[in-house]
Amino acid sequence: MNTLVLGFRDIDASMTPLVGGKGANLGELSRIRGVLVPDGFCVTTEAYRHVVTRTPGLPELLDRLTRIGLGARGEDATRAIAEAGGEIRRTIEAAPIPAAVAEAVGGELAKLGADQAYAVRSSATAEDLASASFAGQQDTYLNLVGREALLDGIRRCWASLFTDRAVTYRIQNGFDHRDVLLAVVVQRMVFPRTAGVMFTADPITSDRRTVSIDAGYGLGEAVVSGLVTADNYKVRDDRIVDKTISTKKLAIYPDGDQGVIETEVTPDRQDRQALTDRQILDLAGVGKRIEAHYGNPQDTEWCMDERGIFIVQSRPITTLYPVPTVTDGHVHVYISFSHQQMMTDAMKPLGLSFFQRGFPDVPLVAIGGRLYLDVSTDLRSAVGRKVLLASMKSVDPLIHNALERLVSRDGFIASLPRGKRALRLGTGYFSWSFLKHLMRLSRSDDASLVPQAMAENDAAVGELRRRLAGLTGEALLTRIEHEQRLIQQAIYDAHSMSIVYVGILASRWIDKHVEKWLGEKGTANTLSMSVDHNITSEMGLDLVDVADVVRRHPEVVDYLREPDPRTFLDDLARLPGGDETTSAVQRYLDRYGMRCPGEIDITRPRFAENPSALTPMILADIRTYEPGARAELFARGLRTARDKEQDILARLERLPGGRRKAKRTKRKIAQLRAFIGYREYPKYMLVQRYWVIKQALLREAERLQGRGAIRDVEDVFYLSFDELRDAIRTGRVDEPEITRRRQDHVGYARLTPPRVMTSDGEEIFAEYEAGGVPEGALKGLPASSGIVEGRARVVTSLDEANFGDDDILVTTYTDPSWTPAFVSVKGLVTEVGGMMTHGSVVAREYGLPAVVGVQNATTLIRDGDRVRVNGNDGWVRVLNASPAQASDQPRTSRESE
């Protein structure tokens, strides 16, 4: 069989390496009954390979481009990429078409019609994949007639593999330029009345039951390129549920024998519906037929003439958040547990399964590498619905508002399953024992209860380490399973959780009553500053002590600017002052080394595994503070809290019944300061135990590697806990499955997880209630009172947490590992968070004005912008854009939202 040119009839979905993603899809589409595809053929990757390997100078140019890509950073790299790509394009466009390729193209034209018009499109081997579409990265040439015009179009398609945008996209997605080959699709032109694109799942809401169709006049390129605002039709369950009829002023039509031309649409047609209702439903039916064939939602390009509907391209929709599996025939509703835990990054399979096993009574579902709570049965119940909505209003108002939108739909409640509720008295944190302890402790302000509970935990962690020390193999996994039950008991311990809630309830009581009596909001924020036993805020202050040691040794400071993560502690030890520095760092790691960003995922690297992650924050502390600042920072917060207490009590005493009000308030303040610091401790308890268990699992992974069962120790992170047990027992793993899961994890990491979604895949979005926000400001939740202005530092990783004294941290989320960075900034803005999440609690402890839950803050605020953060009313405003970042482009939210 000729492997240089293949007709669609000879192509199927398995032939991507030979004909690229688009070519394979078109061949497969041609096989679907009831789907019309214009005839055509593919010039295969073998032809492209022939040109690349036999054209003088091209292999060397590709090697040069690959070397540039490996270290691509900044404007110099951008220029180098453009220069190398341009030279490759010119070389390919000047190269002759191989005689065998030209002959095979001529043979196919003779079969299809040499005098017909054709479209010539690229089809790369890394194109139209489920994980990356590469849509629009190479060029398309329309209405080409004759052999020579087609051969020239083929040559230009080959060259377009090296446009700046295509090269940059491959670098960003980790594709080697030499591994991505290009086929070319040659397809007979259809000269349609209407054309456009069709998504078999709604690309805005991700609802898999809704087909979304964009339609315009003439060739579909006008719609695909964004030249016109197309009509949009939505079809759900064979019904048109929405229409948006746009004014379509332009269309693209063939221009004589070659090329295309833009044409103005006559006024009488501009506002007319491009498709009839019958055509809309017929087109949606074709789309669902294609989706059923491929088994996943499709992004298609279509056109329509007097003969019917033609499909000219179909590829997977790569931007959809995955759909959970449901088999009971009911609609299920999922809320993001990850948002509530300040961990919206994708987790690896071992991390997901380990956390789920640790809390078997909680209906946690892994979706797209994140954890979600199935709250369907709670919403079905009138009582459960009330409890859930009330709890979400304080935890995450955006989840609350989205749920309210959802349950207000006609007939929606009846579509949900009945069953046992997740949130009910007598379970988890809401056990009867907890309620009894809470009632008893609410009458106490005995601060000795907190260090006593902490000491008991430290002893329990020591016992855990001793129990696991000598175990290996299946005995170790069995013991860890038992320890997970003990961890759940520790987290749900009624006495421990009642200490947490006494502090929380005292905070709420103070805020409510002081606002009622004195008209002052957020008083508990100030009263919470510099409390004892806050393990998370102490983590930030203790790093200031480490910075004091480091600052005494200039060579250590220089090294920390560019540390080597692989040899960090050894490198420090060899420097002048290294022994003292290493001892200080090690003391810090002994207490906080189990922490890290995203720490509920047991697979994430801990500070103890990568101490160099602390260096940006150490350097920031050295710049920001004078020696000995730790004690002064704590003392300053304590003075502020004490002054606020005296001020509040004095003002209350001057009110009618003021002595009684002041007495009650003084007692609640004592409870607040005695217990609120412990709010951060239960998560510390969890990650302490996770770290001990992770060390044991890594030792077991090293044994598996020694047996040849896995290539890399971290391969076990892509197994579930039960699969890890099987691997230990059998000495075997499914390597292709591990590779696939690695790829899935990379894909999941690029997705933005929705706060609320349904089992139809629909993402439910909501906004804050309007009111009290200046025009142009971004709304969020007031998490820590105060108003501050400063320079926005937009960072998404602790590696970038190198702040100055005028900086306001703007990030996606903060968990306890970010706390050391809080010491060096003057305000906080996050996309995720609630009043009692970790970032909010610690911001109040440090007296930082903070606004959390600001949707798309890291996109709408640019690094270097001057911003005002209003932690009293919950809004952020950009005062003026950074000169380095200013542009004429409007600030827009992420497309997925």
- Per residue in 494-514, pLDDT tens? 889 999 999 999 999 999 999
Same domain, 129 and 24: yes
* Dist. CA 897–CA 763, nearest whole Å: 9
Residue type, 596: C
In this structure, is residue 430 part of a structural domain? no
Domain that holds residue 860: 778-880
In this structure, is residue 50 part of a structural domain? yes
Nearest 5°: CA angle at 321, between 783 and 324? Answer: 100
* Dist. CA 136–CA 166, nearest whole Å: 9
Mean pLDDT of 58-62: 79
In this structure, is residue 8 part of a structural domain? yes
Buried b (16+ CB within 10 A) or exposed e, 239-269: eeeeeeebebbbbbebeeeeebeeeebeeee
Same domain, 399 and 362: yes
Mean pLDDT of 25-53: 90
pLDDT higher than threshold 50 for residue 670: yes
Local confidence band at 73 (pLDDT 50, 70, 90 cut-offs): low
316: CATH: 3.30.470.20
Structure tokens at 296: 């996943």
Mean pLDDT of 855-862: 91
Q: Which contacts (CB < 8 Å, 24+ apart) does range 269-276 have?
A: 269/217, 271/245, 271/247, 272/245, 273/231, 273/243, 273/245, 274/194, 274/196, 274/215, 274/216, 274/217, 274/230, 274/231, 274/248, 275/194, 275/213, 275/215, 275/231, 275/233, 275/304
On whether the CB atoms of residues 526 and 847 are closer than 8 A, the answer is yes
In this structure, is residue 433 part of a structural domain? no
Same domain, 564 and 628: yes
Mean pLDDT of 139-158: 88
On whether the CB atoms of residues 163 and 138 are closer than 8 A, the answer is yes
Same domain, 663 and 515: yes
Same domain, 757 and 830: no
In this structure, is residue 696 part of a structural domain? no
Q: Which distant-in-sequence residues (6+ apart) come within 8 Å of 515 by Cβ?
A: 521, 523
In this structure, is residue 398 part of a structural domain? yes
Local confidence band at 433 (pLDDT 50, 70, 90 cut-offs): confident
Question: What's the chain's average pLDDT?
Answer: 87
Helices (H) and strands (E) in the chain, counts: 33, 25
pLDDT higher than threshold 80 for residue 327: yes
172: CATH: 3.30.1490.20
Local confidence band at 445 (pLDDT 50, 70, 90 cut-offs): confident
Question: pLDDT tens-digit profile of 123-134?
Answer: 887 544 444 444
Last residue of a domain, one of 189, 218, 239: 189
Q: How far is CA 112 from the centre of its chain?
A: 47
pLDDT higher than threshold 50 for residue 480: yes
Beta strands (DSSP E) in 511-559 are: none
Mean pLDDT of 145-151: 91
Last residue of a domain, one of 162, 189, 216: 189
Collapsing DSSP to helix, strand or coil, 550 comes out as helix
DSSP state of 605: P
- Give the model's pLDDT for residue 440: 86
In the sheet that 756-758 helps form, which strands lie side by side, from edge to edge? 364-367, 370-374, 333-336, 756-758
Structure tokens at 565: 């993560």
Last residue of a domain, one of 189, 208, 230: 189
* Dist. CA 429–CA 432, nearest whole Å: 9
Collapsing DSSP to helix, strand or coil, 134 comes out as coil
The radius of gyration of the chain from alpha carbons, rounded to an integer in Å, stands at: 31
Same domain, 25 and 116: yes
- Give the model's pLDDT for residue 895: 29
* Dist. CA 693–CA 468, nearest whole Å: 8
pLDDT higher than threshold 80 for residue 625: yes
Same domain, 36 and 164: yes
Q: Active-site residues: which are they? A: 838
Question: pLDDT tens-digit profile of 373-408?
Answer: 999 999 999 999 998 999 888 788 899 999 999 999
Q: How far is CA 209 from the centre of its chain?
A: 24
- Give the model's pLDDT for residue 217: 87
793: CATH: 3.50.30.10
Same domain, 83 and 179: yes
DSSP state of 36: B
Q: Nearest to residue 621, comparing CAs of 821, 377, 479?
A: 821
* Dist. CA 50–CA 1, nearest whole Å: 17
pLDDT higher than threshold 80 for residue 834: no
The domain total for the chain is 5
pLDDT higher than threshold 50 for residue 120: yes
* Dist. CA 676–CA 674, nearest whole Å: 6
- Give the model's pLDDT for residue 733: 94
Same domain, 376 and 471: no
- Give the model's pLDDT for residue 174: 59
- Give the model's pLDDT for residue 133: 41
Q: Nearest to residue 666, comparing CAs of 682, 651, 649, 652?
A: 649
Local confidence band at 776 (pLDDT 50, 70, 90 cut-offs): confident
- Give the model's pLDDT for residue 430: 66
Same domain, 541 and 644: yes
Residue identified by tokens 């070389």 is 91
On whether the CB atoms of residues 589 and 551 are closer than 8 A, the answer is no
Structure tokens at 763: 């993402």
- Give the model's pLDDT for residue 131: 41
Q: Nearest to residue 496, comparing CAs of 535, 453, 536?
A: 453
Mean pLDDT of 419-440: 76
On whether the CB atoms of residues 107 and 186 are closer than 8 A, the answer is no
Mean pLDDT of 805-818: 87
pLDDT higher than threshold 70 for residue 651: yes
Mean pLDDT of 870-878: 90
Same domain, 626 and 605: yes
Local confidence band at 892 (pLDDT 50, 70, 90 cut-offs): very low
Q: Nearest to residue 302, comparing CAs of 229, 407, 364, 221?
A: 221
Mean pLDDT of 294-311: 91
Same domain, 258 and 308: yes
Count, residues in the chain = 897
Least confident piece of the model among 556-565, 763-772, 818-827: 763-772
In this structure, is residue 699 part of a structural domain? no
Distances in whole angstroms, Cα of residue 703 to Cα of each of 607, 707, 719, 731 = 24, 6, 16, 10
> What percentage of the chain exceeds 90 in pLDDT?
57
Q: Nearest to residue 617, comparing CAs of 588, 638, 594, 576?
A: 588
Q: Nearest to residue 694, comparing CAs of 595, 588, 570?
A: 595
In this structure, is residue 701 part of a structural domain? no
C-alpha atoms less than 13 angstroms from C-alpha of 410 in its C-beta half-sphere = 0
pLDDT higher than threshold 90 for residue 515: yes
On whether the CB atoms of residues 86 and 122 are closer than 8 A, the answer is no
pLDDT higher than threshold 60 for residue 137: no
Nearest 5°: CA angle at 248, between 253 and 218? Answer: 20
Question: Residue 667, Cβ neighbours under 10 Å: how many?
Answer: 14
